[in-house]
Amino acid sequence: MDVAASRGALRLLQAFFGLLVVFLYVPIGILALFSFNDGDASFPLSGLTTHWYRDVFENPLLVGALIRSAIVATVSSVIAVGLGVLASFALIRRRFLGKSAVSALLFSPLVIPYLVFGVSLLVVFSAVDRFLTDTFGMYIGLGLHAVVVGHVVVSLPYTMLTIMPLLERLSVSLDEAARDLGAGPWETWRRVTLPLLFPALVSAFLIAFTLSFDEYAIASFLAGTQPTWPVFLFASLRVPSQLPALIAVSTMILVVSIAMVVAAELGRRIAERRYGTTLGVAVPTQPETAGPVGFSA
Amino acid sequence: MATNEVPAQARWRRRERAQTAGLLSAPLLWLVFFFVVPVGFITAYSVGAISIFPTDAGVLSLADWRRFLSGDTIYTGLFWKSVRLSLTVSIAVVILAYPVGYYLALCVRKRKYVLLLAIIAPFLTSYLLRVLAWKVILGDKGVINSLLVTLNLRGADEPIQWLLYSQFTVMLVLAYVWIPFVALPIFVSLDNLDRSLLEAAGDLGAGRLRTFWRVTLPLSLPGVVAAFVFVFVPTIGEFVTPLLVGGTSGYLYGNAIQDAFTRGLDWQFGSVLAMFLLLVVTGLMMVFGRFVQVRSVAG
């Protein structure tokens, strides 16, 4: 007897699961459909076209926004992964006073409403600018740097959540063996720890990148005169004639991001499986929980 | 020997301490400068301890706090409206996601991670876009209304208007947006469940329903609470979805905060509103925090 569900209950659960998948994908599908529609974003459909996809690259404002978002996402994810590695090492490999407080602080950006965080940074940047103008007659201003600063803060906990589980399972004795064999700390890191951690770093980078590339609330307060892609998208939603082109871009981003995430996840699993059998994963691996998007226990 | 060992150990410990400080300094400094300090700044700003604009009084005063807490402004009502709305959404989403997590964790044997990925994948697509999709579906010339017209159930010039721009729409869209995210912690808590406990309950004579109520559900509560908190926190500060599909009746507390900073330019009062929201969320985390294993949320 199956303990979890009777046959009838299983059918119901299956049906419910199916319905939910439909509910989740139909809206996205409909949107994608309109990106091929030769008319505005309303029914009835008026004919097949790909010209929205071609138009995209002729709109300099749109391309500019995409480039800005790519820059912000790249820079902020690199910083977040770097900081995430440092913090993860401290939390997993070290014992120190006030560890739980430090850990709480590092993870607290997970539970701050982005709206509140966005206006807080806006206030700080404005206050600092006011001070600088009054005393030195210069100012920093808002812009991409401000967005990067904010995005690093909110993606840092996600990078740690991705790196820490793998680090926890990497045996310290590997590092020690490398040291015993004469490797300095830098060489140990470069030739032993980093390669072993690499899959988690890639996952962490991708998660941070996706988060930053799509983030609107914080960016809307901090971007100033340099709109990132979501800020630009939101502002353009008021112009119905632009809608199909915007949907076309978004569909492309969607396809690319899903492909990236799936690739990263596959890569991570292959790497983990390989290391899991041949290299120092100390504890027998638990049944992999929540593998997708690189979050794992 | 012993006399040699002690200084060596002390030296080693000192070096280790220095290394730990080195590891922690960069992440902690970043968070202090760009997270703790900003929160401190809006706290200070909300009581007038700093001034940014020439119009700021620049004197310490709790006047704005008093104005807000007295309940005479529209903002108290907006706050409760937001609480009600995000409570409804969070509960609905958890109830909808639970059977999915249950099904994937306990009923599916092969390919459960592929199926889980299918549920989570929409969360990786653009947030704005997913909201926009509903605007296209529910709008006057949207999918539903044009379908009704095509079926001759309704004239072309009398679309159902309440589909878009209502509180219901905001809730529907928020639920749509957050379900994938919520399925994850619920799945994880059920997947980590020791199945032999269920079998034991069965052996002891409990039926499936009783096993569920007395064993499975209580053991998965941490995941449920985590899921709830992780929807409630972002939705209570939500302002984008109401802007896109809420209309005037979907105007929420988050919109009031945004307006204070972008339109009304009453930053000091905006800081009061933002700080209050942060206090509420912090209080919530203090109550529920111990149930929420951060690690369990992300897997």
Give the least confident one: A5-9, B273-277, B292-296.
B292-296
CATH number belonging to the domain at B71-297, selected among 3.40.50.300, 1.10.10.10, 1.10.3720.10, 3.40.50.10210: 1.10.3720.10
pLDDT in tens, B127-145: 888 888 888 888 777 778 8
Residue A185 is part of which domain span?
60-294
Query: Is there a domain that residue A132 lies in?
Result: yes
Lowest-confidence pick of A55-64, B26-35, B223-232: A55-64
Predicted pLDDT of residue B98: 93
Among candidate residues B142, B223, B144, B165, the one with its CA nearest the CA of residue B190: B223
Judged by a CB distance cut-off of 8 A, whether residue A102 touches chain B is: yes
Average pLDDT for residues B228-255, to the nearest whole number?
89
* pLDDT exceeds cutoff 60 at A19: yes
CA distance B91 to chain A (A): 16
Q: What is the pLDDT of residue B91?
A: 95
**Amino acid at the residue A280:** G
Q: What is the pLDDT of residue B296?
A: 47
pLDDT digit string (tens) for B171-209? 999 999 999 888 888 988 888 888 888 888 888 888 888
Q: Which residue has the higher pLDDT, A221 or A238?
A: A221
- Region B270-277: mean pLDDT is 92
Enter the pTM of the model.
Answer: 0.85
Stretch A132-138: mean pLDDT:
84
Is the confidence at residue B2, as pLDDT, over 70? no
Provide the residue type at A256 as one letter: V
Facing B42 at nearest CB: one of A20, A83, A123 = A123
Residue A272: HSE in the Cβ half-sphere, 13 Å Cα cutoff: 25
Three-state secondary structure along chain B?
A: CHHHHHHHHHHHHHHHHHHHHHHHHHHHHHHHHHHHHHHHHHHHHHCCCCCCCCCCCCCCCCHHHHHHHCCCCHHHHHHHHHHHHHHHHHHHHHHHHHHHHHHHHHHCCCCHHHHHHHHHHHHHCCHHHHHHHHHHHHCCCCHHHHHHHHCCCCCCCCCCHHHCCCHHHHHHHHHHHHHHHHHHHHHHHHHCCCHHHHHHHHHCCCCHHHHHHHHHHHHHHHHHHHHHHHHHHHHHCCCHHHHHHHCCCCCCHHHHHHHHHHCCCCHHHHHHHHHHHHHHHHHHHHHHCCCCCHHHHCC
Q: How close does chain A come to B3, measured CA to CA in Å?
A: 25
- pLDDT for res A284: 35
**What local confidence, expressed as pLDDT, does residue A71 receive?**
96
Q: How many domains does chain A have?
A: 1
pLDDT of A153 higher than 60: yes
Q: In whole angstroms, give the CA distance from residue A155 to residue B204.
A: 47
Q: Are A89 and A167 in contact (CB under 8 A)?
A: yes
At B44, give phi and psi (nearest 5°). Answer: -65, -40
Q: Is the pLDDT of residue B293 over 70?
A: no
Q: What is the pLDDT of residue B188?
A: 86
- Residue range A106-121: average pLDDT? 92
φ, ψ dihedrals at A37, nearest 5°? -95, 130
Amino acid at residue number A267: G
- Least CB–CB distance from B128: residue in A124, A165, A216: A216
Helix (H, G, I), strand (E, B) or coil at A119: helix
Whether A45 maps to a domain, the answer reads no
pLDDT at A295 over 60: no
Listed in sequence order, the residues at least 6 apart from A99 whose beta carbon sits closer than 8 Å to its beta carbon are A91
Residues of B with CB below 8 A from A292's CB? Answer: 113, 116-117, 120-121
Q: What is the mean pLDDT of residues B247-273?
A: 88
pLDDT-derived band at B84 (thresholds 50, 70, 90) equals very high
CB < 8 Å to A89, chain B: 23
Question: In whole angstroms, what is the distance from residue B173 CA to residue B29 CA?
Answer: 38
Query: Average pLDDT for residues B116-129, to the nearest whole number?
Result: 83
DSSP class of A42:
S
Q: How many residues does the structure list for chain B?
A: 299
Q: How confident is the model at residue A280 (pLDDT cuts 50, 70, 90)?
A: very low
| Any domain includes A113 | yes
Q: How confident is the model at residue A293 (pLDDT cuts 50, 70, 90)?
A: very low
End-to-end CA distance of chain A: 30
- Model confidence pLDDT, tens digit, residues A40-52: 666 666 677 777 7
Q: Does A41 touch chain B (CB under 8 A)?
A: yes
Q: Searching chain B, which residue's CA lies closest to the CA of residue A32?
A: B133
Residue B297 pLDDT level (bands cut at 50, 70, 90): very low
Return the ∠ at Cα A234 (arms to A231 and A237), rounded to 5°: 150
Q: Does A276 score more than 80 pLDDT? A: no
| pLDDT exceeds cutoff 60 at A279 | no
pLDDT reading at A277 higher than 70: no
Mean predicted confidence (pLDDT) in A196-219: 89
Question: Chain B neighbours among A 192-211 (CB < 8 Å)?
Answer: 210
A128 and B52 Cβ atoms separated by less than 8 Å: no
- Residue A158 forms part of a structural domain: yes
Residue A297: is its pLDDT beyond 50? no
CATH number, domain of A194, equals 1.10.3720.10
State the helix-helix crossing angle for A144-169 and A194-214, rounded to 10 degrees.
140
Backbone angles phi, psi at A170, to 5 degrees: -75, 125
Residue B40 has pLDDT above 90, yes or no: yes
Distance from C-alpha of B145 to C-alpha of B138, rounded to nearest angstrom: 7
Mean pLDDT (whole number) for A233-261: 81
The tokens describing A185, both together, are: 């700390």
The distance of B137 to chain A (nearest Cα, Å) reads: 7
Rounded Cα distance between B183 and B28, Å, is 31
pLDDT tens digits, one per residue of A164-186: 888 888 877 887 888 888 887 78
- pLDDT value for A69: 94
Neighbours of B54 (CB within 10 A): 7
pLDDT at B215: 85
For residue A74, what pLDDT is reported? Answer: 96
- Predicted confidence at residue B299, as pLDDT, reads 37
Which of A10, A24, A258 to mutate to probe the B interface, most B CBs <10 Å? A24
Higher pLDDT, B272 or B163: B272
Q: What is the mean pLDDT of residues A239-253?
A: 80
Average pLDDT over residues A55-71: 88
What pLDDT score was predicted for residue A154? 95
Closest CB from B39, B99, B129 relative to A250: B129
Long-range contacts for A25-30 (Cβ within 8 Å, ≥24 apart)?
Answer: A25/B122, A27/B130, A27/B133, A27/B134, A27/B136, A27/B137, A27/B176, A28/A254, A28/B122, A28/B125, A28/B129, A28/B130, A28/B133, A30/B133, A30/B136, A30/B137, A30/B143
Cα–Cα distance between B207 and A2 in angstroms, integer?
11
Please report the ipTM that was assigned to this predicted complex.
0.86
